Amino acid sequence: MKRLIYLAILAFVVWYGWHHYRDLLAHHPKHDAIIENHSGRAMERVRLTVGGQTFVKEEIPDNSSVTFSFAVNEDTSFTLAWKWDGQDFDQHWSGGSVPRGPMVQTHHLNVDGDGGIIYTAENKLAQ
């Protein structure tokens, strides 16, 4: 009986691999989100949420940036939360537009000294 169960599982794995190997091995293009800190002070506990995924960076010093790559299953937007160096309360921003595809984009989130976000997006070239 155990052999029959193992044989059924093996048959399913082989069938699934045969019908879905292109999806399993294909490189899917991803969006990039670049958070650029031009605020004059460090950003701490930075959390970027997009499409149900949360990316975390403990600190982004002034005049530096961090890049996150991601894929989404539906059209969505960003939520960015952070603390300024030495402050106890969170700053929040929501916005932007991330298309499901097939085009992918590079999303720039420039943080200024007042906590404002300048959001721009540009299409990525095919790779």
Of the chain, the percentage scoring pLDDT greater than 90 comes to 65
Domains and CATH numbers, the chain: 29-123 (2.60.40.2890)
Residues forming a β-bridge with 107: 33, 121
Check residue 28 and report its DSSP letter: P
Tens-place pLDDT, residues 69-99: 999 989 999 999 999 888 888 899 999 999 9
- CA-nearest of 109, 111, 106, 107 to 127 is 106
Separation between Cα atoms, residue 94 and residue 63, nearest integer Å: 22
Average pLDDT for the chain: 90
Strands (E), the chain: 31-37, 43-50, 53-60, 64-70, 76-84, 91-98, 105-111, 117-123
Tens-place pLDDT, residues 37-58: 999 999 999 999 999 999 999 9
Q: What 3-state class would DSSP assign to 3?
A: helix
